[in-house]
């Protein structure tokens, strides 16, 4: 259901900052788990098509920015009440996103990390579908995220299979 009155510019700005804080808080939780990931990543046997470790930070930074803007657009269009399911799905996939780093880098559970990233992929797809109903722009902003997680899923599987001793 659309808002009766438009949001003021200051309230829109506060909302944008709020959504970016939520997204980058999740990024920080995952980032904390991967603080020593560079060294571990270099130790792993990787497929020839695996990107260099330094690439992950910049890619994820852009993706998190796009995710925050997407959530803000949905919130701005309908508020929490009007987009409850879409925003709850977004927050859920964000939590699952943060968990992957812990599974892979801290607990070194390659199989669980692979299963979890498949769940994440489905949750992103659901979120895109729910966002599409509210804002096609917001849904479109999540497409690079879906593409990267698709790639990361295949990479997770490949690395897990190449490193059975290190990734249980």
Q: Determine the pLDDT at residue 166.
A: 83
Q: Determine the pLDDT at residue 56.
A: 93
Q: Determine the pLDDT at residue 132.
A: 98
Q: Determine the pLDDT at residue 1.
A: 43
Burial class (CB in 10 A: 0-12, 13-18, 19+), 68: buried
Q: Determine the pLDDT at residue 4.
A: 37
CATH of the domain at 67: 1.20.1260.100
Query: Is 81 part of any domain?
Result: yes
Query: Is 168 part of any domain?
Result: no
Query: Is 154 part of any domain?
Result: yes
pLDDT tens for the chain, 168 residues long, are: 444 347 788 989 999 999 999 999 999 999 999 887 888 888 999 999 999 989 999 999 999 999 999 999 999 999 999 999 999 999 999 999 999 999 999 999 999 999 999 999 999 999 999 999 999 999 999 999 999 999 999 999 999 999 998 887
Q: Determine the pLDDT at residue 82.
A: 93
Domain coverage including residue 123: 9-162
Task: Give yes or no for a contact between 117 and 69, defined as CB atoms under 8 angstroms apart.
Answer: no
Q: Determine the pLDDT at residue 73.
A: 97
Query: Is 151 part of any domain?
Result: yes
Number of domains in the chain: 1
Query: Is 48 part of any domain?
Result: yes
Q: Determine the pLDDT at residue 96.
A: 98
Residues contacting residue 127 through CB under 8 Å, at least 6 positions apart: 86, 89, 90, 93, 142
Q: Determine the pLDDT at residue 2.
A: 45
Query: Is 167 part of any domain?
Result: no
Query: Is 101 part of any domain?
Result: yes
Query: Is 4 part of any domain?
Result: no
């Amino acid at each position: 259901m659309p808002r009766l009155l438009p949001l003021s510019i200051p309230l829109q700005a506060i909302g944008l900052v709020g959504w970016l804080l939520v997204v980058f808080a999740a990024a920080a939780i995952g980032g904390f788990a991967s603080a020593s990931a560079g060294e571990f990543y270099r130790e792993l046997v990787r497929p020839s098509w695996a990107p260099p470790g330094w690439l992950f930070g910049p890619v994820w930074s852009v993706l998190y920015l796009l995710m925050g803007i997407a959530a803000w657009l949905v919130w701005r269009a309908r508020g929490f009440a009007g987009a409850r399911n879409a925003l709850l799905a977004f927050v859920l996939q964000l939590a699952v996103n943060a968990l992957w780093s812990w599974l892979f880098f801290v607990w070194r559970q390659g199989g669980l990390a692979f299963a979890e990233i498949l769940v994440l992929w489905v949750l992103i797809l659901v979120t895109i579908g729910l966002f599409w109903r509210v804002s096609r722009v917001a849904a479109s902003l999540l497409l690079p995220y879906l593409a990267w997680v698709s790639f990361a899923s295949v990479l997770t599987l490949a690395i897990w299979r190449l490193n059975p001793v290190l990734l249980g």
